[in-house]
Each structure stands twice: as C-alpha cells, then as structure tokens.
Chain A
C-alpha cells in the first residue's frame, strides 16, 4: 500500500513537472518564435486601412449592399458571427436545410438577375463548416460581377479583371480548390471606386 501511495505522489509530481515544460515553456517558445518570424500571421492576418483594422484576410465579415461581393451563407451564431464559429450541422434530408437552400437560391437569382436555367455554384447557397469562410468559388464571384459593376457604375470587364487578380489557384497545383478572397476583392474594388472618382 505504501508503494501505491509513493506511486500516487510520483504521479502528482509528474503532472506538475511535465505541465511546466509542455504547457509553459513549449507554448511560450512557440509564441516568441512565431512573433519574431511571422508577426502578421501569428496576430490574425489583420488588414488595416488608414490605421483602422477592417478585418482579417482569413475571416470574411458580412458585406452589406449590392456594391460588395457577398461571402457564403453562414450558420455561425446568428449569421457570420466570428465569435461563434460553426456549421449548420443539418443532415442531407433535413427540411430546414432544403428550405434554407431554396430560399438562398431564390434570393441569389433575384439579386444577380439570373434566370431559373442558370446552375448555381454550390458554395453560393450552402453554409460553410466554420461559418466564416473567407472565400467564394470563382464561378460564384463571376455570377455576382454584373450586379457589383452596375451598383458601382464600373465596366463589368474591369470587375471581372479584379476577380482574376484576387483568385488563388490550387496550392502546388493539386491541393485544395481555386478560390476568391472576398475581403481582398472588395477592398480592391473600393480602391478602384475611390480612384475613379
């Protein structure tokens, strides 16, 4: 029995000693190194205009109005709440899912002046896993280009060109999918709109 008590004491000491190394020294070392080597990334890839933080390259905010490209639908919190990430978790035969997608599809077609025959990109009407997806597919962006161009009084071709500049291909040619960063694209649009006036 004394042997058991000794082993229990050893267990407690091991928890304390390992916690100092693995939960103290390790994360602090990673913190120092990350702050020295990649300060921008380690601090949230924040994007500032005129000294004001307007968002993160990695997390799309809500964009209101027709003159902005819209990110994907979101189930985070009450909708694109960056403080409460998450997906809808609705199953494939869920009435809630099918009704939500039908509603979003109708809105998307109306907003962008699309006929019933135009197939919609899946990402335009489904909620992402995080609810904060910073990207939309290039097809989704192209379908929104006409609306954005009209709202800003720009030529559609110049908006399409901006989409091209904000599009990232597959990493190393194979990993992931082609995508457009919505914040980057919208800030680029604002730059063009301001410069044009």
Chain B
C-alpha cells in the first residue's frame, strides 16, 4: 500500500463530498414537475412535445399501483424492443463487421440484463454486436433503466415527505424529466471528456494495422505484428454506462479496455460518475424530508461502508499472491494478473469497490483473478444489497428499506411503536420491507444452490475448487443484485445459464420494485405523528451506527455460510497450504 494510493482514495472521497450537494440540488429541480432548470429554454418545448405525443397530463399524479404499472409496462416494451434489435441486427444498419443475429437465449439474457440495469455481459461487444445494437439496443436501457431507478427512489422519498396523500408522482413525467434534464446533458459532457482522453467515437469499420517488418531498422527477425483494432461509438455509450450505474462494456474487457478507459484520469472520472447521482440522491432525500442532517447521515453511513471495503480490497491486492511470489516476483508489485499497468493495484482495487458498492458492474480489472479476500470485497458489496451509494435510485430505495428495518428493530428493543420521520412504521411497512430484502436472498442462494449441483451449472466453470463455487455465487449475486460484474471465468453463454441469470436479474429488479412502491404508497397515506423527545433520531452517530449495523448484520447472517465455502476457505488454502486446483 503506497501513499499515492491513499491520496487517490482521499481525493476520490473529497471530490464526491464536494459534488454531492450540487448534484442533489439539480435532482430537486429535475424531480419537481414544475422545477426550473437552466436547460428549460432548449428542452422545455421537447418536454411538452413528448407529453403531447404520449398523451400524458403532467399535472395529474398517479397512486403507487398506477405508477408501478406504468413502470412495468414501459420496461416490458423496452425489453421486447432490445430483444428485437439483437435478433434482427443482421438486417439493421451500422453493422460494418456484418455480425449475424444473436441466438434467442443470448438475446433474451442481454435484453433482460439491460432492462434491469444489470448489464451482465454474456455477449462480447467487439465480436458479437453491431454498432446499431450497441447504440440503440443497449444505450436505450442505459438511459431509461437509470431513469426508472431514480423515479422509484423519488416516489419513495415523496412517500416519506408527504402525508395523507394518495399519490406519489407521475411515472411518465419523472421518466421524461430525468432523461432530458439530468442524464442527457451529463452524458454529453462526459462523453466529450472521455473522447478527449482517447475513448473512440466513430462509425468506421475495424482498422487493420500493417505489419511493421523491414521498415523498422531493427534487423531481420524483429517485427511489429499486424492487428485488427475495433472501433465504434463507444464514448457516448461509456458515459451513460457510468452515470446510470449500468456497467455494460462496449468491448469485452469493459473498462479495462484501453479504448474504453484509456488513462488514469478517465478512470478517476468514471469512478466519480458511478457514485455521482447516488450520492446526490442522499442530499435530495434530506432536502425533501426537510431534515438535511438525515441526508448527510445516510451519506456518512455509505461513506463508512465504502471506506472499509476499499481499504480491505486494496490491502489484499497489494499483498498479492504468495504462490506467484515464490516464483521470484517482486513482492512490491502486488497482484497484477488481470490488472492494467496504467491503473495499478490501488486504482483497480478502488474501482472494484466502487463498481460493486453501486450496482454498476463495469470492471477495470478482472475480479476473477483477484486474491481471495480482494475478490471477497466486491462479492460482499453486492450481497449487502448495493446500498453503499448504490445503483442510481436503487441504492437509495434499498437503503431506505434498511432504515425502515433499523427503525423497526430499535423500536422493538425499546418497546415503542417505531416511527421514521414522523411516520408510524406498521406491520404492513415492515412486511414489504422484509420482502424486498428476501427477494435477492432467495434469488442468489436458490439459483446458486441449483447451479452448484446441476450439470448445467458446473459445465461453465473457469476455475476448480472453492474458486469455482465463488464463480457461481458471484454470478447469481451479480445478476440478482443487478450489478453485472463477474468472476468472468464462468462461461455464462449457455442456454441454461442465459435463462437462469436472466430470471435472477428480472426477480432482482422488478420483484423488488413492487414492494418498494407499496412502501412508498403506504408511507404517503400516513398522517404525521408530532415528534417528541422519545422519537428515534435519524441523524447523528447512534443512527449511523445502527444503520450500518443493520446492513452488515443482515448481509452477514445471510451469506456468511456460502462465503465460508468460497473465498474464505480459499484464503486459508492460499496462506496455509500448497494446494493448487
């Protein structure tokens, strides 16, 4: 662990802190249907035109059922749209490499993956997808799944902020406004920055480079080999891939690919882009419920969980792999298998933590080749529910569910009806909250169990021994958690895995959203209870401690047995034996 790595981590957290309030203020305006932004002049006519085209009355709000139904129907239409694009890509334009259509199972997996904001990659961008499929089939969901996540978070925050109200907002208004006023301008700026760093943005066929023999002056037997360099409209896709915590790579190697993440600066900005909107949403929460300290307390809880994970991952990766050290490797190098020199160990460990704290899933290093404890960190991050800043929207609504549980548990301990921000937390609220916690647990452990005893599950393994089990658990955690990163040695592009992973992704997204929206509706209907000195404080050290404790304890109780058989036993085998698999 070097001082530079520490400075990089400090700089990252410092920048995030400074950007939280500006982004939060921006969210306050965008998520208010009448809010004014400085983009009103060019975009207001577009917004009005869209409402007219869709037949939406922006002044009319929906109750939670109607809001949820709109979201589900829109997501279904988007899923079918992308499925069609991928199946028909050989007939569609912008396909200079003449790729054929995707197989039905792969197209279903990829469409489900992007609709659910997961972006699991069973496809390999540069050998499978045309520019049109990337730019239209995938980028569409990069925007709208992010906007849908933010919309659900906004509905839940409205539920908290309102009282005796039947409605929680209008889905179509939230969808349109978040895309137009937030994601679109931010993506445009970020894509140009990325292009300035070297991320490609063109529609040219793949470039063939000439072999350099003879012209080199180096003598016979020395030569530069010819190459084929993939191209494409990557910068515009990578920008929203990060801002929307999507994570699906334009290229197979994702953000490790030099055309997708060319410099340490592009890497730093991409990491910030992942956390930007989720961090801003904590400020939005504080503003809307008129308790800014509460918003910052949630931010601080997230920052603490982030910091611990980042340090553990960095330390494990710096220590490296003793099996390789005995071959004469310089121990200062750390674990470099699957990592890029320009990022090195610190920026790779930091990226792995950020991308799994959030539900992003972009990778700038191959998690499968991390040390056991270094790889444990991203896995645990996903299994805690990706509530550490988390996915855009999904991080905040996941964390609010944990707050409801924390308030409930504290209420049980002191023997008082639990209340949160003046709302009584009743049986119904606790039931739907627990349901959202249980959905991913069943999806992760259920599918993993089935895969680890089924021939279809074991057929795809890239590594043997405990690491193989880790690959399976990681795959279904990533899918159900809508993360999208992988222990990528697992070959998930088989019909069985394509379907199983797609089902896990759909459960982890939509079966979660319904109870969250039910919670939003229930909270909105409640009357306010006046606060007294016995009310549960929702800021300060005790609140932060209880919230962090709830997140960690629920996660640990659920997943520790499975983790013990995967990364944890692997760690002890690495340090305490000579066994190889």
Show the binding face of A for B, using Cβ within 8 Å.
4, 6-8, 10-15, 17-19, 21-24, 26-27, 29-31, 33-35, 37-38, 41-46, 49-50, 52-59, 61-68, 72, 76, 80, 82-95, 97-98, 101-102, 105, 109, 116, 118-123, 125-137, 139, 151-152, 170-177, 179, 186, 189-191, 193-194, 197
Contact = CB atoms under 8 A, between A and B. Distances in A.
A91 B574 CA distance: 11
Interface in B52-83: 53-56, 69-70, 73-74, 76-78, 81
Interface string B238-258: 010000000000011100111
Contact of B324 (A24, A95, A101): A101
Contacts of A35: 201-202
A53 B323 contact: no
B66 to A, nearest CB: 8
B210 A23 contact: no
B200 A43 contact: yes
A61 B224 contact: yes
13 contacts: A30-B188, A42-B201, A63-B224, A67-B222, A85-B252, A89-B366, A90-B368, A93-B581, A94-B581, A170-B4, A170-B264, A175-B264, A194-B217
Contacts of A139: 330
Sort chain B's interface into a size bin.
35 or more
Contacts of B201: 30-31, 34-35, 42
Contact of A11 (B7, B77, B124, B343): B77
A80 B135 CA distance: 27
B263 A105 contact: no
B231 interface: yes
A97 B231 contact: no
Interface string B315-352: 00000110110011111011111111111101110000
A89 B467 contact: no
Contact of B368 (A38, A91, A98): A91
B310 to A, nearest CB: 15
Interface class of chain B by DSSP: mixed
Given A61-B226, A92-B467, A131-B253, 18 more contacts: A10-B54, A18-B140, A26-B139, A26-B236, A27-B233, A30-B195, A55-B227, A67-B219, A84-B126, A85-B252, A89-B487, A98-B327, A125-B329, A127-B337, A132-B257, A139-B330, A176-B263, A179-B342
Contacts of A171: 263-265, 268
B7 to A, nearest CB: 4
A176 B342 contact: yes
Contacts of B570: 91-93
A133 B342 CA distance: 8
A95 B257 contact: no
A175 B344 CA distance: 10
A59 B197 contact: no
A119 B217 CA distance: 32
Contacts of B227: 55, 59, 61, 82
B225 interface: yes
A67 B216 CA distance: 10
Contact of A91 (B176, B212, B257, B463): B463
B230 interface: yes
B336 A126 contact: yes
A122 B337 CA distance: 8
Contacts of B485: none
B203 interface: yes
Given A14-B54, A83-B126, A94-B463, A58 B259 contact: yes
A65 to B, nearest CB: 3
A176 B7 CA distance: 11
Q: Which of A80, A122, A179, A189 has the most CB of B within 10 A?
A: A122
B112 to A, nearest CB: 16
B209 interface: yes
B206 interface: yes
A14 to B, nearest CB: 6
A4 B76 CA distance: 13
B368 to A, nearest CB: 4
B55 A10 contact: yes
Contacts of B199: 41-42
A89 B229 CA distance: 22
B77 A8 contact: yes
A130 B340 contact: yes
A34 B197 CA distance: 11
Counting from the closest, the 8 A-B pairs by CB-CB distance are A176-B264, A122-B333, A65-B222, A129-B256, A177-B344, A89-B489, A91-B467, A85-B253
B378 interface: no
B542 to A, nearest CB: 35
B272 to A, nearest CB: 12
Contacts of B267: 175-176
Interface string B371-396: 11000000000000000000000000
B561 interface: no
B534 interface: no
A132 B328 CA distance: 24
Nearest to A98: B323
A119 B328 contact: yes
B549 interface: no
Contact of A102 (B175, B327, B470): B327
B270 to A, nearest CB: 12
Contacts of A65: 218-219, 221-223
Interface string B134-147: 01100110011000
A130 B366 CA distance: 9
B369 interface: yes
B235 interface: yes
B463 A37 contact: no
B233 A123 contact: no
Interface in B125-162: 126-127, 135-136, 139-140, 143-144
A93 to B, nearest CB: 5
Interface in B187-205: 187-188, 191-192, 195-204
B172 interface: yes
A8 B73 contact: yes
A129 B364 contact: yes
A194 to B, nearest CB: 4
A15 B69 contact: no
Contacts of A94: 463-464, 467, 580-581
A45 B247 CA distance: 24
Contacts of B73: 4, 7-8, 10-11
Contacts of A109: 328
